[in-house]
Structure formats: structure tokens, C-alpha cells
């Protein structure tokens, strides 16, 4: 995925993209391309080829070009300030074009942290498009950062200037604070999909939350049961939309039972759309014991959203 933003917009942009496409942060790798307005061939290449680079990168490799904003090159004084800022935080950016790589690690149940693992200077533009293509390929196909360091060094014909994970803590914390902290699986009947979409849209402004909903995640040819089970295991919360339709849905009952077995009945929040419905057996026993949020009263919509946000903030580790 291609990103063109100044420093303060990088993570906001990538988090919005991850939420839209329901990507896991730990599945992605990132490259920051540092160069100045005088590096004409690099500037021209990234401006003219952003669509093809984006297509080749796919969804799980993200490229930032801080020098280019809204297809314009930022003033040189901003570039020098940015370069000095990054150098003070452990990224030894000089006047040479430099390409820095990092990934996101999940440190505990609700916190991602960037791990910078490689950086290379590229004084010449010669064969750079091929170098970038190979770098993207191996970052997508290889997960071991130590192997990646070696492979990237061979590609760029340059020494790695960033020892693994030695970047300033405060800078990493700035990125961490903007990353999603909770993934919510929304279990619902197809008949309740309009409500599910409305609920997700209302909560989406909180960039610390990302949502799993079948119409966005499952595509033609996927094994539905495998996709659902994998996503349930990766989710921090299960929202159950309770209605006459979901109570009869075999998929909703399957999702609840699966999540119960994974989390020992923790982090399950019932959302009541209408009253007087029961689920089969053990699922119904659990749902009846849990405190629900009653969304059947439209006048309490915003009050209920606040209650739901508070519940997310008190999440227990799975």
C-alpha cells in the first residue's frame, strides 16, 4: 500500500487502511524512503510510479515517502528538520537517500510496538527500481528479520545502518499509541447487517479499534469455517448482536461457542436488538449470565455507544 504523508500522518493513514481492509498489524512490513528534493531521480520515480508500486506492494507492505506530500515535494528546510529529528531518535539519516525498514510486534495482549530492523543508504539511483522490487518481494515472503537483514543488505549492496530494535523508545511509543489496540469480531445474522454496519461506522472514529465483519473479510473461494475460526482466535472481543434472527442462526451459535472455548468466556459483550429470544443450550446459559447493552431503544443510541467504548477500555487479556 502506498502512503504519501508528512511524518505526523503516517500511522493515522496506515491504521485507517488496516481497519478498512481488516489487516492485522503484525502481518505488515514498512519502508520509509528518505531523500531530498535534490535527489531528482528518486523524486521523479516515486511521484510517477506510485500506482504501480502500490499495486506491486499489495496490502501488507507499506511505503512512506516523507519528502513528498500531496504529490508535491516539501521545502528543503522541512526536510532538514525531519532528517535531524529522526537522527536524534536513533535513525541515522544523512543527506544520502536512505531506506529504513520496520515491522510491528505484539508485545502483550493490547499493545503493538514498531521494531526497526534495517536501513540502507543508496547513493546511486542505478538499478534502484529492481532493488525496490526485490526488497518488497522478500519482505512479503520472509518473516525472520535476521534473514531479512542479510537479504536486504545484498539487494542494496550496502551495510545495515540500523542495529535491530535500537531506535529511541519515545519515537516507537509515538507510533504504538496510534496503532489499533483491540480487534472486535461482530457476530450477527445477515438480517441484522444494517445495524452491524451502522454500529461499526459509529465506532470507527476510534482508531484503536478494528472490526471483523464477514462481508469485508470473506471472499469468494474462502473456506468460511476456517476463516471465521482464524479470525475469532485473533480477536480480542466478541460482540453478539441478539435478535430473533441471530438466535436461530447456526453461524452465530457456532461463533459464540468457538469464542467461548478460546477465551474461557471472557470479553464477550451481548448487544440486545430485540427482546425475548433464546439461544440453544450452553450458549443461552452464557448469554443470560452476561450483562448486555440494550440497543433496542433508539433514544439511547449515543449513551449505549459510550457504554460500549468503556467496556472496550476495560478489556481483559485472553
Name the residue ranges covered by the structural domains of the chain: 2-178, 182-313
**Is the overall model pTM greater than 0.85, yes or no?**
no
Query: Along the 318 residues of the chain, how does pLDDT read in single tens digits?
Result: 443 344 455 566 666 666 666 667 778 888 988 888 889 999 999 989 988 888 888 778 888 887 876 677 878 787 787 777 777 777 778 888 999 898 887 765 556 677 888 999 998 999 999 999 999 999 999 988 889 999 999 999 989 988 655 555 656 666 666 666 678 889 999 899 999 999 988 887 776 777 877 655 554 555 667 777 878 887 888 999 999 898 888 888 888 888 888 777 678 899 989 877 777 776 777 777 888 899 988 899 999 999 988 888 766 545
Domain boundaries 182-313, corresponding CATH code: 3.40.50.10140
- pLDDT given at position 2: 42
Cα separation of 66 and 8, whole Å? 10
Cα separation of 82 and 7, whole Å? 8
Cα separation of 233 and 190, whole Å? 22
Distances (CA, A) of 169 to 28, 114, 276, 308: 20, 10, 52, 32
- pLDDT given at position 1: 46
Strand pairing category for 209-212 and 111-121: unpaired
- pLDDT given at position 147: 92
Amino acid at each position: 500500500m502506498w502512503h504519501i504523508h508528512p511524518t505526523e500522518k503516517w500511522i493515522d493513514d496506515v491504521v485507517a487502511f488496516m481497519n478498512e481492509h481488516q489487516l492485522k498489524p503484525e502481518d505488515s512490513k514498512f519502508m520509509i524512503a528518505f531523500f531530498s528534493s535534490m535527489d531528482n531521480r528518486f523524486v521523479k520515480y516515486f511521484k510517477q510510479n506510485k500506482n504501480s508500486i502500490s499495486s506491486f506492494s499489495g496490502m501488507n507492505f507499506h511505503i512512506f515517502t516523507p519528502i513528498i506530500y500531496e504529490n508535491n515535494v516539501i521545502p528543503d528546510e522541512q526536510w532538514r528538520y525531519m532528517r535531524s529529528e529522526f537522527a536524534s531518535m536513533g535513525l541515522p539519516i544523512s543527506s544520502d537517500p536512505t531506506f529504513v525498514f520496520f515491522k510491528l510486534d505484539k508485545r502483550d495482549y493490547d499493545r503493538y510496538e514498531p521494531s526497526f530492523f534495517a536501513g540502507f543508504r543508496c547513493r546511486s539511483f542505478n538499478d534502484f527500481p529492481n532493488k525496490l522490487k526485490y526488497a518488497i518481494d522478500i519482505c512479503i515472503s520472509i518473516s525472520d528479520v535476521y534473514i531479512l537483514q542479510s537479504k536486504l543488505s545484498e539487494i542494496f549492496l550496502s551495510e545495515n545502518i540500523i542495529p535491530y530494535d535500537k531506535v529511541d523508545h519515545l519515537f516507537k511509543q509515538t507510533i504504538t499509541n496510534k496503532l489499533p489496540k483491540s480487534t472486535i469480531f461482530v457476530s450477527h445474522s445477515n438480517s441484522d447487517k444494517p445495524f452491524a454496519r451502522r454500529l461499526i461506522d459509529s465506532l470507527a472514529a476510534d482508531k484503536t479499534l478494528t472490526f471483523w465483519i464477514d462481508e469485508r473479510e470473506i471472499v469468494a473461494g474462502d473456506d468460511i469455517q476456517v476463516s471465521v475460526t482464524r479470525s475469532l482466535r485473533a480477536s480480542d472481543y466478541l460482540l453478539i448482536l441478539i435478535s430473533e434472527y441471530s438466535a436461530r442462526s447456526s453461524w452465530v451459535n457456532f461463533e459464540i461457542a468457538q469464542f467461548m472455548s478460546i477465551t474461557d468466556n471472557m470479553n464477550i459483550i451481548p448487544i440486545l436488538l430485540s427482546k425475548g429470544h433464546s439461544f440453544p443450550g450452553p450458549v443461552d446459559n452464557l448469554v443470560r449470565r452476561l450483562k448486555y447493552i440494550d440497543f433496542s431503544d433508539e433514544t439511547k443510541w449515543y449513551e449505549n455507544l459510550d457504554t460500549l467504548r468503556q467496556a472496550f477500555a476495560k478489556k481483559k487479556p485472553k
